[in-house]
Amino acid sequence: MTDCLICGANARKIESGLDGEELNCPDCGHYGVSGTFLATKRDRRFDINQTRMWLERHRHARPGNLPVISDLSALWAI
């Protein structure tokens, strides 16, 4: 188990070929985070609600495709 990068809950890290991390959180669902993003994230926190809505929109628009958070899609808390 590891911490969800979005909300901090216990999440399961999934081994994959993704350049980054692939996680499955009981609250945020299954998602990936790019390696480039992880290298630059530092201590910034996600806007949890906005990020979960982005994940849901992605899943609805692209069924079967893993949503991957990158520098372009990150939604930060203010």
Q: What total number of domains does the chain contain?
A: 1
Residue 11 pLDDT: 97
Put simply, whether the predicted model's pTM sits higher than 0.85 gets the answer yes
- Domain membership flag for residue 76: no
- Domain membership flag for residue 54: yes
- Domain membership flag for residue 47: yes
Range of the domain at 30: 2-69
pLDDT tens, residue order, the chain (78 aa): 899 999 999 999 999 988 999 999 999 999 999 998 888 877 788 889 999 999 999 999 999 999 999 876 665 555
| Beta strands per DSSP E along the chain | 2-3, 10-14, 20-25, 29-34, 68-69
| Cβ atoms of 37 and 45 closer than 8 Å | no
- Domain membership flag for residue 56: yes
- Domain membership flag for residue 32: yes
Q: Write out the H or E segment, with its range, that includes residue 41.
A: helix 35-41
Longest dimension (CA), the chain: 32
- Domain membership flag for residue 65: yes
- Domain membership flag for residue 8: yes
Q: Which tokens in the block code for residue 31?
A: 């998602």
